[in-house]
């Protein structure tokens, strides 16, 4: 079995929104990037402009789709696919509520459960990435195929955490998946055996200004 990577996945969180800055839970609210978020997305695009993407996915929510568009302006011939499976965790009646404005000890039943959210992240991964790996042939020493996916903070953190826990990907044992900054880049190399390595998590070295330290959608206790 070959040990070299055949696919490199770039998971990018959307740019900043006003709701991010006000610590409002967005979930699947269809919010827009603010001016800072647009600038972040442009910087992210510049950082990735020399990556030879073969395919790009994005959540269909506006904040992710606009981020993806700004990144993909450097890759006009690459197909950008909207996928509802990349949406943020559905937060039900908590959407639009500020952090601290609800009882954190018990989430409403309208919130997507942790189990359902995890299943959805893994379903997207298998559909978009996993099922195709055994059929990819890349000569040793060649570049892997590069795939972009623009999503949301809790989605990316949850996906990485469950892939590590399931031993699908390897990561340093002390790596913390709680924070995923706006337009951060997470990079995963995958092999034909459907296993791989987490190369970078939440890299924001391309940003001119420090990213927000908190993510309201990722601060909830499991339900």
Q: Is 153 inside a domain boundary? A: yes
Residues assigned a catalytic role: 14, 88
Number of independent structural domains in the chain: 1
Give me the helices (H) in the chain, please. Answer: 18-21, 35-47, 62-72, 114-128, 153-165
Q: Is 129 inside a domain boundary? A: no
Binding-site members for substrate are 13-20, 63
**pLDDT tens profile 105-131:** 788 999 999 999 999 999 999 999 999
At 172 the pLDDT is 85
What are the Cα distances from residue 5, in Å, to 92, 127, 178, 185?
A: 39, 18, 26, 18
At 173 the pLDDT is 82
Q: Is 130 inside a domain boundary? A: no
Q: Domain of residue 214: give its range.
A: 7-117+136-218
Q: Is 105 inside a domain boundary? A: yes
Crossing angle of helices 114-128 and 153-165, in 10° steps, is: 80
Give the CATH number, domain containing residue 102: 3.40.50.1240
Binding-site members are 13-20, 63
> Please, what's the largest Cα pairwise distance for the chain?
54
Q: Which of 18-27, 62-71, 202-211 has the lowest mean pLDDT?
A: 202-211
Q: Say if CB 44 and CB 71 are below 8 A apart.
A: yes
Q: Is 122 inside a domain boundary? A: no
Q: What percent of the chain has pLDDT over 70?
A: 92
Q: Is 174 inside a domain boundary? A: yes
Containing 189, the helix (H) or strand (E) segment is: strand 185-190
Q: Is 90 inside a domain boundary? A: yes
At 1 the pLDDT is 45
Q: What is the mean pLDDT of the chain?
A: 92
Q: How many CB atoms lie within 10 A of CB 90?
A: 17
Residues in the chain: 223
Q: Is 166 inside a domain boundary? A: yes
């Amino acid at each position: 079995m070959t040990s070299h990577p055949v696919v490199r996945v770039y998971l990018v969180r959307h740019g900043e929104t006003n709701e991010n800055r006000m610590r409002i839970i967005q979930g699947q609210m269809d919010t827009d990037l603010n001016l800072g978020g647009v600038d972040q997305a442009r910087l992210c695009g510049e950082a990735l402009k020399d990556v030879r993407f073969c395919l790009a996915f994005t959540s269909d929510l506006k904040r992710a789709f606009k981020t993806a568009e700004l990144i993909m302006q450097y890759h006009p011939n690459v197909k950008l696919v909207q996928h509802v499976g990349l949406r943020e965790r559905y937060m039900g009646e908590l959407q639009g509520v500020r952090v601290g404005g609800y009882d954190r000890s018990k989430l409403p039943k309208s919130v997507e459960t942790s189990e359902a959210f995890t299943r959805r992240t893994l379903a997207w991964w298998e559909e978009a990435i996993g099922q195709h790996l055994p059929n990819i042939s890349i000569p040793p020493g060649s570049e892997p195929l590069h795939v972009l996916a623009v999503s949301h903070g809790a989605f990316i953190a949850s996906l990485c955490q469950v892939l590590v826990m399931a031993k699908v990907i390897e990561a340093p044992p002390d790596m913390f998946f709680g924070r995923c900054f706006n337009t951060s880049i997470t990079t995963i190399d995958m092999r034909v055996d459907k296993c791989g390595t987490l190369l970078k998590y939440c890299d924001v070295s391309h940003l001119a200004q420090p990213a927000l330290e908190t993510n309201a959608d990722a601060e909830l206790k499991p339900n």
